Amino acid sequence: MEPDPTAFSPGSSKAGLNRIQFLLESLVDLDLSLKKAGSRLLVLKGDPGEVLIRCLKEWSIGKLCFEYDTEPYYQALDEKVKGYVSGTGVEIFSPVSHTLYNPADIIRKNGGSPPLSYQSFLKLAGQPSWATTHLSTTISSLPPIGNTGSFAVSEVPTVRELGYEDLAEDEMTPFKGGESEALKRLRESIANKERAANFEKPKGDPSAFLKPATTVLSPYLKFGCLSSRYFYQCIQDILKCSKKHTSPPVSLLGQLLWRDFFYTAAFGTPNFDQMKGNRICKQIPWKNDDELLAAWRDSRTGFPWIDAIMVQLRKWGWIHHLARHSVACFLTRGDLFVHWERGRHVFERLLIDSDWAINNGNWLWLSCSSFFYQYNRIYSPISFGKKYDPAGNYIRHFLPVLKDMPKEYIYVPWTAPISVQRKAKCIIGVDYPKSVVSHDSASKECKMRLGEAYALNKMLNGLVNEEDLNELRRKADNESTNLDSVSRKKKQKLID
């Protein structure tokens, strides 16, 4: 089997390293803050269960707190910790503080199931219960760790110490982990109060990379460097003094509420991260085309807007929301018809803000599998980016092979006459791939396939099984031969 280039382990690949680096920087920063408050971060080696039990015993700890989590993987880990501790007489408490609301409360208010539209979520949510409390980011003094007994205490390891040796890097994420950086970024994002109060999400420019159009606070929220509640409180303080401001869903506050919306949906939906057995997910006969997936993942689709975004994702671990829309739509319902779970997996590995509930929720949305169903509205991999960046500066930065391509061809280099390609030192099909599909015919075919799948889901009331999906695949394959699908038949040989 071909090794997974997004694999996430020492020695195999540096993909995913941005996230580890970000996490380690965050831990170093946390250690510094704890030291200022008279304590420190303890890095202990060994089997987690044994280490935990020994700590509890040696330091006579009577109460243990760990953040409650929505993701099944961490819920299982929490259960494991409870297992280690049970019978030791230690009290465990798991406050919900990573989100603005307790997802369980919202679900209860909705009669036992999560609200599946943002507006119904807003109606149920109201003001968060803690909103009258004043939150602060300064740490009061902490009790010292005391005698560490027989424990070998280490500093936070470096990425090299974790086994990533071959770090001959080209470009890594410009975003540095840690609470200090998070608070600095938050202050900068809301320094211009009028701008913060009038933040309007879909209006941002996804191609702005020197100064991103949004806050880039997502990785800090993800790793707990920034409390979503503190962020919420800062925005509320601004709104109280603003005469005019935008409102959810487009406002800055609205963005934080999207986060809670997806956490609630994820918490209340079994199998949220997959199509099978997920009752809110349309059953769609996606393709499992490894070649198309690899072309998308490795920036070889031949559509410069899509490929440049995927380079930014790999190098920076962060891309603008509308850039995420573009590539997710392209991979799934827009052009390639590849399963959303496979795109989700790539994002999970490469994003520094990769978050189980939000990532899966947005992939469900973008693939028209749940929450959003207007599958006729497709992002063009050509004209969408051009609207924001007609000169193609974003593409030239992330795909330097196209840096000398004239602006008339930068989004459609395959249409450039060979003399122009030669002058730009970029021959299409040699230096940069030909497009893997023709957007016009591929998008038509996707719409047809989705239309049929939606009809079947409706007819069978969502109870579509694998056999039904295979039948649909066969039928769609036959029908698509009647469409003008030159690109489908001649699916070009991808260039390595």
Ligand X SMILES: Cc1cc2nc3c(=O)[nH]c(=O)nc-3n(C[C@H](O)[C@H](O)[C@H](O)COP(=O)(O)OP(=O)(O)OC[C@H]3O[C@@H](n4cnc5c(N)ncnc54)[C@H](O)[C@@H]3O)c2cc1C
Please name the residues in contact with 132: beta carbons below 8 A apart, sequence gap of 6 or more: none
Nearer Cβ to ligand X, position 344 or 428? 344
* Beta strand 91-93 pairing with 63-65: parallel
Toward ligand X, which CB reaches closer, 52 or 257? Answer: 257
**Of residues 39 and 97, the one with the C-beta less far from ligand X:** 97
Residue ranges at the known binding site for FAD: 214-218, 255-262, 353-355
Taken in order 109, 110, 112, 115, the sign of the CA dihedral is negative
Q: Which residues bind ligand X (CB under 6 A)?
A: 201, 214-218, 221-222, 255-256, 258-259, 262, 321, 324-325, 328, 347, 351, 353-355, 358-359, 362-363, 366
Q: What's the closest the beta carbon of residue 17 comes to ligand X, in angstroms? A: 17
Question: For the stretch 186-225, what's the b/e string if a residue is b when 16 or more beta carbons lie within 10 angstroms of its beta carbon?
Answer: beebbeeeeebbbbebeebbbbebeebbbbbbbbbbbbeb
Q: Which is nearer to ligand X, 22 or 363 (CB)?
A: 363
Closest to ligand X by CB, 324 vs 456, is 324
Task: Tell me the sheet residues that pair with 91.
Answer: 63
Comparison of 67 and 91: residue with beta carbon closer to ligand X: 67
Cβ of residue 246: shortest distance to ligand X, in angstroms?
Answer: 12
| Cβ proximity to ligand X, 25 vs 260, nearer residue | 260
How many whole angstroms separate alpha carbon 202 and alpha carbon 251?
10
In whole angstroms, how close is the CB of 216 to ligand X at the nearest point?
4
Closest CA to 249 of 307, 203, 190: 203
Count of CA atoms in the C-beta half-sphere (13 A) of 13: 12
Q: Closest distance between ligand X and the C-beta of residue 359, in Å?
A: 3
Q: Are 97 and 224 contacting, i.e. CB atoms less than 8 angstroms apart? A: no
* In the complex, least distance from residue 442 CB atom to ligand X, rounded to whole angstroms: 19
**Which residues carry a binding-site annotation?**
214-218, 255-262, 353-355
CA distance 322 to 324: 5
Residue 143 CB, nearest distance to ligand X (Å)? 33
Comparing CB distances to ligand X, the nearer of 344 and 396 is: 344
Identify residue 1 by its one-letter amino acid code. Answer: M
- Min dist CB 50 to ligand X, Å, is 33
- Distance, CA of 166 to CA of 352 (rounded, Å): 20
Smallest gap from Cβ 254 to ligand X, in A, equals 8
300/17 Cα distance (integer angstroms): 22
Cα-based distances in Å from 386 to 76, 158, 214, 330, 415: 45, 41, 19, 16, 16
* CB-nearer residue toward ligand X: 216 or 420: 216
Least gap, CB of 312 to ligand X (angstroms): 12
Indicate the residue among 222 and 300 with the shorter CB distance to ligand X: 222
As measured in angstroms, the least distance from the Cβ of 195 to ligand X is: 12
Nearest-angstrom CA–CA distance, 27 and 481: 56
The minimum distance between CB 467 and ligand X, in angstroms, equals 29
Q: Decide whether 164 or 220 has the Cβ nearer to ligand X.
A: 220
d(CA 383, CA 401): 20
Q: What is the dihedral of CA 42, 45, 50, 56, to 10 degrees?
A: -10
